[in-house]
Structure 1
Amino acid sequence: MANNYRKGENGTIPSRCERFYSLRSEWFFATREGSPVGPFATLESANIGLDDYLDFMHLAKPKIKARLVEAMQRPANKHSGA
């Protein structure tokens, strides 16, 4: 069986199968921090989106990653258009 550890992980490997979900016929994935990303038209396109997200997180400088994670953890602001 392949080693599924990520860099810096030790111990029990966390479940990753619940990352994708469908809501009103649109697909989303959840980041490690629990933020939803989507919508995508298909599960396949959500998988591609996740691959792109993970590539970005791997290549981005720590300060940029930290700002993205911080922004994703903030409650969504609804603008009134004023």
Structure 2
Amino acid sequence: MNNRDGELGNVPLRSDRFFAAQGEWFFSTREGTSIGPFDDKPEAAQGLEDFVEFMSLAQPKTLSKLYAALAS
């Protein structure tokens, strides 16, 4: 396995972020939270893209509140 663009050092363990449970799809965040349900894997993939976009655009105060909510 190779490093991704911009990564240095040992290649981290990677796993699929998507999983199905009871016929519904979810994705897991780096923070260890499961988000869903979605009707199918493509919808979950879109949800993940939306989540990443939100995380990249959110203000630090909003992110702080989100991290606190995900941890509880």
Which TM class, normalised by the smaller chain length? 0.7 to 0.9
Higher mean C-alpha deviation, range 37-46 or range 63-72:
63-72
Larger CA Rg, structure 1 vs 2? 1
C-alpha contact 1:27 1:38 (8 A) present in aligned 2 = yes
1:21 corresponds to = 19
Tell me how large the CA RMSD over aligned residues is. Answer: 2.0
Distance 1:13 1:63, change over 3 A: farther
Q: Which amino acid aligns with 1:58?
A: S
- State the alpha-carbon separation in 2 of the partners of residues 42 and 32 from structure 1: 21
Deviations 1:13-66 (A, max 9, x none): 434432110000100000101000000000000000000000000000111111
Q: Is 1:45 matched up with 2:24?
A: no
Q: TM-score, normalised by structure 2?
A: 0.83
- State the alpha-carbon separation in 2 of the partners of residues 43 and 30 from structure 1: 13
SS across alignment from 1:18: coil
Percentage of matched positions with identical amino acids: 42
Shift of 1:11: 2.6
Shift of 1:12: 3.1
Q: TM-score, normalised by structure 1?
A: 0.74
Uncovered stretches (5+) of structure 1, i.e. residues with no partner: 75-82
Aligned partner (choices 51, 59, 62) of residue 61 of structure 1: 59
Shift of 1:67: 0.8
